[in-house]
Structure 1
Amino acid sequence: MNYQIITQSEQLDSVCQRARKSSSVMLDTEFVRTRTFYPQLGLIQLYDGEHLSLIDPTVIDDMSAFIDLLQDTSVLKVLHACGEDLEVFNNSFKCLPVPMIDTQIMAAFLGHGLSTGFAALVESYLDISLDKSESRTDWLARPLTSKQLEYAAADVFYLFPLYEKLLEAVSQSGWWNAAQQESELLSHKRIKKVDPDNVYLDVKGAWQLKPQELAILKPLAAWRYKEAIRRDLALNFIFKEQDLLSIAKLGLQSKQSMEDEGLDSRSVERHSARIISIVKAAQMQSTTDYPDRIERLMDLPRYKHKFKALKDEVKKVSQSSGLATEFLASKKQLNQLISWVWKKNRDPQQLPDVMQGWRLDLLGEKLNKLL
């Protein structure tokens, strides 16, 4: 397994120009995300079937040649379990690889579980055991060890023959177009615009709060989200989610009351003045401006019965198609469908996953009729 370490823009230009002559390239990234809001890119692996390059983005000034490769529609980019990789590309280069195929998705169309790992597929299809001991390594540290570099190189070196085997099997089974659709859907879903005013809806336990408490949580959650982006810190390193809930529920308006409730002392010390002003402003709102109480689907009287009916139908389609039930329609996707019917009046502009692409004829229409 020979590889070249790319540390200069001129080298990168040459490597990417050569890769753009291929019909497909294997891609992977190594990154670190422990305390930061955004993943920090440490290494990019690129393999065109002949030349394997380990690109060091931490020392290369001009990455435009790689960006051009990502956006070259004549070259298919092959990745495995690429959800976080897409986030890395979008954050680092403001673009996504197009067109793209995910081998984890390809494997799912062959009856494998949706979360089947790369090492398991390599062992299954290539009879090779990969060393995964470096998966938790610090990819921002320099110099990288030879063991780290070999680990990173293996992720694209073996991806090439794996992809070829999966491509043959998926094409023979008639699922190739569907695999492309699903990979495209993954790209759209992974990169979404977030409205800070609505992030309170994702706070665990927010559904338990009353409207007047939500009126406090809403601006608090928006402030935390914006602060996390500004400082590039993970949300809970700005202010713990559970502590936000406590402030909203109890309407805490002093540093002392926050300390008495056992909130994180460092966060209170740093942010209490800002939080107090947010709470006071929220409490001065008119009741007509309070957010609506959060209504959970599972609390609706007919939900349990309908969800079971949908789940039973998914099992039937799973047996006839050979695809895993979770891949056909996860709990989240079934809830998305129910919300679309019950709360959005089947809005054609907001189609749920099961009502588009390959799922529509196979499953979606049946589930829609059940509702």
Structure 2
Amino acid sequence: MNYQIITQSAELATVCQKARNVDAVMLDTEFVRTRTFYPQLGLIQLFDGETLSLIDPLEIDDMTAFVELLKDTSVMKVLHACGEDLEVFFNSFGCLPQPMVDTQIMAAFLGNGLSTGFAALVEANLGVALDKSESRTDWMARPLTQKQLDYAAADVYYLKPLYEKLLAQVEQAGWWQAAQQECALIASKRIKTVDADNAYLEIKGAWQLRPKALAILKPLATWRYKEAVRRDLALNFVFKENDLLTVARLGIQNRHQMEQEGVDPRSAQRHSARIISLVKAAKATPVDQYPETIERLMDKPGYKQLFKVLKDEVKKASDSSGLATEFLASKKQLNSIISWVWKRQRDQDKLPDVMQGWRLELLGEKLNKHIK
């Protein structure tokens, strides 16, 4: 397994131009995301079938050649479990690889579980046992060790024969078009603009609060989100979610009470003045401007019975198609179609996953008929 380390823009341009002459390239990234809001890109692996390159984005000033490769629609980009990689590409370069296919998705269309790992697929399909001991390494540290480099290179070196084997099987099974649809769906979900003003709706447990407390939580959550983006810090490293709920629920207006109620003392010390100011302003919100109570789908009458009926329908589709139930329709996807009917009156501009693409005929139309 020979590979080269790319640290210069000129080298990158040569490698990427060569890669644009083949039908498909293998891609992977190594990144770190422990305390930061955005993933920190540490390494990019690129294999065009002949040349395996480990691209160091920390050393290269101009990544234009790589961005042009990502955007080149004549070259298929092959990844495995691509969700976070797509986020890395979008945050780092403002684009996604187009077109793209994910071998984890391809494997799911062959009856594998939706979250089957790369090492498990390589061993099952190629008979090679990969060393995954470097998966938790610090990819921002330099220099990278020989073991780290070998590990990173193996992820794209074995991706090529795995992709070729899965492609033949997926095409034979008649699922190739569906696999491409599914990968496009995954990619579309990775480009999402967050409305900072509605960040409170993403906080677990917010549904337990009454409108008066939600009026406090809303500006607090907006502040925390904007602060996280500004400082590139994970949300809970700005202010813990549970602490935010505590402050909102009790309407806390002094630092001593924050600490009495178990709020992280370091966060209280750093942010108490800002939070107290936000709480005081929120308490002056007129009652008619309070946010509405957050109504959970599962609390609506008839939800449990309906969900069971839909799950039974998914099981039937699983038995007939050979696809895993969680791949056909996860709990989140089933809730999405229920919400689409109950809350959005079947809005054709906001179709849920099961009402589009390959799922529609296989499952979606049947599910839709059950929801009144």
Asked if Structure 1 and Structure 2 have the same fold, meaning a TM-score greater than 0.5 normalized by the shorter chain, the answer is yes
Aligned residue number for residue 362 of structure 2: 362
Query: How many angstroms does 1:2 deviate by?
Result: 0.1
Aligned residue number for residue 138 of structure 1: 138
Confirm whether residue 214 of structure 1 aligns to residue 214 of structure 2. Answer: yes
Aligned-partner SS, 1:201 = helix
Confirm whether residue 189 of structure 1 aligns to residue 189 of structure 2. Answer: yes
Deviations 1:182-222 (A, max 9, x none): 00000011221110111111111111000000010011011
Aligned residue number for residue 84 of structure 1: 84
Deviations 1:62-104 (A, max 9, x none): 0000000000000000000000000000000010000000000
Aligned residue number for residue 205 of structure 1: 205
Aligned-partner SS, 2:123 = helix
Aligned counterparts of 1:283 and 1:351: Cα–Cα separation in 2:
38
Alignment-mate amino acid for residue 155 of structure 1: D
Aligned counterparts of 1:256 and 1:109: Cα–Cα separation in 2:
56
Deviations 1:318-338 (A, max 9, x none): 000000000000000000000
For residues 321-332 of structure 1, what are the structure 2 equivalents within 5 Å?
321-332=321-332
Confirm whether residue 32 of structure 1 aligns to residue 32 of structure 2. Answer: yes
Query: How many angstroms does 1:354 deviate by?
Result: 0.2
Aligned counterparts of 2:73 and 2:176: Cα–Cα separation in 1:
18
Aligned counterparts of 1:351 and 1:273: Cα–Cα separation in 2:
44
Aligned-partner SS, 1:135 = coil
Aligned counterparts of 2:259 and 2:42: Cα–Cα separation in 1:
39
Aligned counterparts of 1:337 and 1:135: Cα–Cα separation in 2:
36
Aligned residue number for residue 126 of structure 1: 126
Aligned residues: 371
Query: How many angstroms does 1:355 deviate by?
Result: 0.3
Query: How many angstroms does 1:252 deviate by?
Result: 0.2
The unaligned stretches of length 5 or more in structure 2 are none
Deviates more, 1:191-200 or 1:139-148: 191-200
Query: How many angstroms does 1:301 deviate by?
Result: 1.6
For residues 154-303 of structure 1, what are the structure 2 equivalents within 5 Å?
154-303=154-303
Query: How many angstroms does 1:261 deviate by?
Result: 1.2
Query: How many angstroms does 1:136 deviate by?
Result: 0.3
If the length of structure 2 is used for normalisation, what is the TM-score?
0.99
Query: How many angstroms does 1:250 deviate by?
Result: 0.1
Aligned residue number for residue 341 of structure 1: 341
Query: How many angstroms does 1:130 deviate by?
Result: 0.3
Deviations 1:103-142 (A, max 9, x none): 0000000000000000000001001000000000000110
Aligned counterparts of 2:105 and 2:269: Cα–Cα separation in 1:
46
Aligned-partner SS, 1:348 = coil
Aligned-partner SS, 1:112 = coil
Alignment-mate amino acid for residue 131 of structure 2: D
Provide the identity percentage: 74
Query: How many angstroms does 1:19 deviate by?
Result: 0.2
Alignment-mate amino acid for residue 218 of structure 1: K
Query: How many angstroms does 1:150 deviate by?
Result: 0.3
Alignment-mate amino acid for residue 238 of structure 1: V
Aligned-partner SS, 1:350 = coil
Aligned residue number for residue 352 of structure 2: 352
Aligned residue number for residue 316 of structure 2: 316
Aligned counterparts of 1:143 and 1:223: Cα–Cα separation in 2:
38
Deviations 1:147-192 (A, max 9, x none): 0000000000000000000000000000000000000000011221
Confirm whether residue 41 of structure 1 aligns to residue 41 of structure 2. Answer: yes
Aligned-partner SS, 2:349 = helix
The unaligned stretches of length 5 or more in structure 1 are none
Deviates more, 1:151-160 or 1:199-208: 199-208
Query: How many angstroms does 1:5 deviate by?
Result: 0.2
Aligned counterparts of 1:5 and 1:184: Cα–Cα separation in 2:
31
Aligned counterparts of 1:154 and 1:232: Cα–Cα separation in 2:
31
Query: How many angstroms does 1:256 deviate by?
Result: 1.4
Runs of 4+, deviation exceeding 6 Å: none
For residues 88-127 of structure 1, what are the structure 2 equivalents within 5 Å?
88-127=88-127
Aligned counterparts of 2:193 and 2:286: Cα–Cα separation in 1:
29
Aligned counterparts of 1:159 and 1:36: Cα–Cα separation in 2:
29
Aligned counterparts of 1:103 and 1:119: Cα–Cα separation in 2:
12
If the length of structure 1 is used for normalisation, what is the TM-score?
1.00
Aligned counterparts of 1:127 and 1:327: Cα–Cα separation in 2:
25
Query: How many angstroms does 1:284 deviate by?
Result: 0.4
CA RMSD between the two structures: 0.5
